[in-house]
Structure 1
Amino acid sequence: MHDAFRQILDPVGRADPYRYFGALRDEPVARQEDGSYVVSTYREIVALLHDPRVSSDRRNLGDGGSVSPELPVSFIGLDPPEHDRLRRLAMRHFGPPHAPGTVERLRPHMLEITTGLIDALAGRNRADLVDEVAYPLPVAVICRLLGVPQEDEPHFHALADEIIETLGPGEEDRAERERARQEKGLELARYLRGLAEARGREPREDMLSGLIADGGMTTQEVVATSVLLLIAGHETTINLIANGMLTFLRHPELLVRLREEPRLIIPAVEELLRYEPPVQFISSRVALDDIQIAGTTIPAGSPIVLAVAAGSRDPAHLADPDGFHLDRPRNEHLGFGGGAHYCFGAPLARLEAQIVLNELIRRLRNPRLVADPPPYRPSAVLRGPRHLLVDFDEVVG
């Protein structure tokens, strides 16, 4: 395994993987001992994200890539035209052209929840911003949007956490991780199947009911889409919010400027998606044919790992990539991937992060980190603090 890639995956270096990115990019396409290829430079990653010879279907892997026939495959793990059909049906209830106002209509609800979470910190001088703010908001929003009872949250969150911890690339225990992912995925799918069947009998005003009523998806496809939205709809946003507050607290001048110019929270979130992205790797790609790129041939059947966090900090792509700049004139990042699989939930994640970060900056007086670095979650793929303890003088109205 490439030494830099091994160091990035090592939990010991989870707090600062970026110090290894330069060495990783020195070999833009690097073959690993397990036969996978890690791609780490911006231009090459973008090319592969748009290359039809690169599959997102794990069933095209020759070793251990098969999935249980009981386990539904979501459209994120399929290729066109099936991917396009299912994504289009899901988007009918989420965004344009059929539902252009869905995300924006959630704004008052998001602000109300955020206000209540921050109000609950009043009278104290310390809080864990992950457990008390960054986590509860996206969970409440995705539950409301999809139609999952929020009282079931502890159950599905535990399963989602366990599934995510199986996603890391490069480890030697790939077969074991596949087995664990299938086991936990099946448990989550069974829960959502029961919920889908209940919505079929008694529809409500939620996305799950809409997907069933449309009739364009089978029950299996509805369940697969729901699993995807439930996991992706909150896990990545938690990290985006937590990484954002950590970055701002490390740069007090950013806090001052954002407090004085709240409108800058929009470019601030875009820069966070580049500088501290919640998704560091896309590790589920497979070469369908021999692919020549950056002087290397990736053989057909090989797993491909796209190091999108390294690509977004590629000095060949933009100036001062390791600096955080609110005023970047063109911030073309890989924070939401790209190509046909560009993040389905990007509009929702952007709005949630903008609202929560803006309110935390505005209402916490003199916030400061208790520990730097904070403890991190184990995953190298979905990277973010497990906890973010912050001291502050008071909560203002």
Structure 2
Amino acid sequence: MTHAILRQILDYTHRANPYPLYEELRRTPVLHDADGPYVVSGYYDIQSLLHDPRISSDARNLKATASGPLAGEEEETALPPSFLRLDPPEHDRLRRMTNRPFGPPHCPRRVYDISGELHDIVSGLIDGIGDTERIDLVDQFSYPFPVTVICRLLGVPREDEARFHTWADTLAAGLDPDPDADPDERAKVTQSARMELGMYLNGLIEERRKKPGDDMLSELATGHGPDGTMTTMELLSSAVLLLVAGHETTVNLITNGMLTLLRNPDVLGRLRDDPKLSVPIVEELLRFEPPVQLLPQRTTLADIEVRGVTIPKGASLWLVLAAGNRDPDRFKDPERFDPDRGDIQHLGLGSGIHACFGAPLARLEAQLALSELARRLENPRLLEDPPPYRQNAVLRGPRHLPIACDGIRP
């Protein structure tokens, strides 16, 4: 049974609406068969396991399972694992070091201070839409916005941003394989992009060490906190993580968000009149259509009992965040999109020590993007519903979102 449901979740034919499958999963709180992973889908169980030190995220502890490879697994790379794929104490040290120039307590205004620049980027992208009879919101807006923001944060020179966009697109394609493409060729192209990006960042790091600026890369390259200084390889790994993870999740959040708003025109109209509504809207989106649907790469370091089932040490564990986010034991009327919920403690950005590092920035980007799209697009409407989705079952979102509008407001 486990493999049958997991195969359906991974099957592209269910990508546009996997939620009935998640409902089926929740009927068996811990789903398992002889050689597959243990799959947990209830809100409270997932929340508990995300805070359990007996659960490992370290890729070196993973064992191959009969479920086979999963789209979304990290490509082979010469870089060391990012802190996302490490356990304490290595995880804690690298996360603290990366956070020093990014957020509280050392740089509490880093995200807030770029809000004006974010607005300028959003405005420029909307101004450049052109033909309003057919707009691809992904290619023309959702994809370029987050990678431009990451470039500005890291301190990538403006003249090099186009190269960064190309690398980001290539790495994104590597995470979202085309079933009709040659997998060996895709791997070669992805690896080449990683190498080029790594070489470019290495050169930029050396420049920043000699002549630091006020960007994150300069502070990471020259910082001397209580944890010491990052090695070049650690810095490269962290920078690539910020690019890939920060880009992909925000693209999905914005695109899923606009799709949901167009399906709920009453909420879209309220947002047009009241931009502050973007805050609860984004939180409800993170519950209702989370950009990361499941966490498949976890391993148990000891026997763990969940709902009367003993998950043995060394087992492969999947945590289905999107199923937990629609658990009726936690949320009233969970299948309804309702930004007026009084309590939206979702799992959309994870929880525990691996909670989304860039959550404050992702929230701000989505709030600004959706409020400006609602304000400036005149009578927006979907041209395809459902739209074509990406292959990836983990980082789920439309690959294209064709829409039209009657014009662009100033």
Query: TM (normalized to structure 1)?
Result: 0.91
What does residue 136 of structure 1 align with? Answer: 144
Matched, 1:347 2:360: yes
What does residue 110 of structure 2 align with? Answer: 102
Matched, 1:59 2:60: yes
Q: How high is the sequence identity, in percent, across the aligned residues?
A: 52
What does residue 161 of structure 2 align with? Answer: 150
Could you tell me how far 1:164 is from its partner in structure 2?
2.3
What does residue 170 of structure 1 align with? Answer: none
Looking at structure 1, the residues matched to 310 and 190 of structure 2 have their Cα atoms a distance apart, in angstroms, of 30
Looking at structure 2, the residues matched to 340 and 181 of structure 1 have their Cα atoms a distance apart, in angstroms, of 29
Spell out the pairing of 1:218-237 with structure 2 (5 A cutoff): 218-237=231-250
Q: Cα gap change, 1:322/1:203 in structure 2, threshold over 3 Å: closer, same or farther?
A: same
Looking at structure 2, the residues matched to 103 and 273 of structure 1 have their Cα atoms a distance apart, in angstroms, of 20
2:254 to 229, 232, 241: 241
Looking at structure 1, the residues matched to 33 and 194 of structure 2 have their Cα atoms a distance apart, in angstroms, of 27
What does residue 209 of structure 2 align with? Answer: 200
What does residue 97 of structure 2 align with? Answer: 89
Could you tell me how far 1:236 is from its partner in structure 2?
0.7
Could you tell me how far 1:301 is from its partner in structure 2?
1.2
> Deviations for 1:316-338, whole angstroms, at most 9, x for unmatched residues?
11101110011111101000000
Could you tell me how far 1:195 is from its partner in structure 2?
3.1
Alignment length (residue pairs): 388
2:274 to 261, 268, 274: 261
Matched, 1:217 2:230: yes
CA contact (8 A) 2:39 2:317 kept: yes
Could you tell me how far 1:253 is from its partner in structure 2?
1.1
What does residue 28 of structure 2 align with? Answer: 27
Query: How well do the aligned residues superpose, as a CA RMSD in angstroms?
Result: 2.5
What does residue 383 of structure 1 align with? Answer: 396
CA contact (8 A) 2:300 2:317 kept: yes
Could you tell me how far 1:291 is from its partner in structure 2?
1.0
CA contact (8 A) 2:167 2:194 kept: no
Quick one: which amino acid aligns to residue 213 of structure 1? T
Looking at structure 2, the residues matched to 392 and 342 of structure 1 have their Cα atoms a distance apart, in angstroms, of 37
SS of residue matched to 2:353: helix
Spell out the pairing of 1:182-193 with structure 2 (5 A cutoff): 188-193=197-202
Quick one: which amino acid aligns to residue 155 of structure 1? T
User: After TM superposition, where is structure 1 displaced by more than 6 Å over at least 4 residues in a row?
Assistant: 64-69, 177-184
SS of residue matched to 2:84: helix
Looking at structure 1, the residues matched to 211 and 33 of structure 2 have their Cα atoms a distance apart, in angstroms, of 51
Matched, 1:111 2:122: no
Could you tell me how far 1:240 is from its partner in structure 2?
0.4
What does residue 251 of structure 1 align with? Answer: 264
CA contact (8 A) 2:144 2:165 kept: no
Unpaired runs of 5+ residues, structure 2, are 66-72, 178-185
Q: Cα gap change, 1:123/1:155 in structure 2, threshold over 3 Å: closer, same or farther?
A: closer
CA contact (8 A) 1:58 1:66 kept: no
CA contact (8 A) 2:54 2:302 kept: yes
Looking at structure 2, the residues matched to 113 and 309 of structure 1 have their Cα atoms a distance apart, in angstroms, of 30
CA contact (8 A) 1:28 1:40 kept: yes
CA contact (8 A) 1:131 1:387 kept: yes
Spell out the pairing of 1:275-314 with structure 2 (5 A cutoff): 275-314=288-327
Looking at structure 1, the residues matched to 116 and 62 of structure 2 have their Cα atoms a distance apart, in angstroms, of 45
Quick one: which amino acid aligns to residue 247 of structure 2? H
> Deviations for 1:263-319, whole angstroms, at most 9, x for unmatched residues?
111000000000011100112211011111112111111121110011111111110
Looking at structure 2, the residues matched to 325 and 66 of structure 1 have their Cα atoms a distance apart, in angstroms, of 34
Could you tell me how far 1:192 is from its partner in structure 2?
2.9
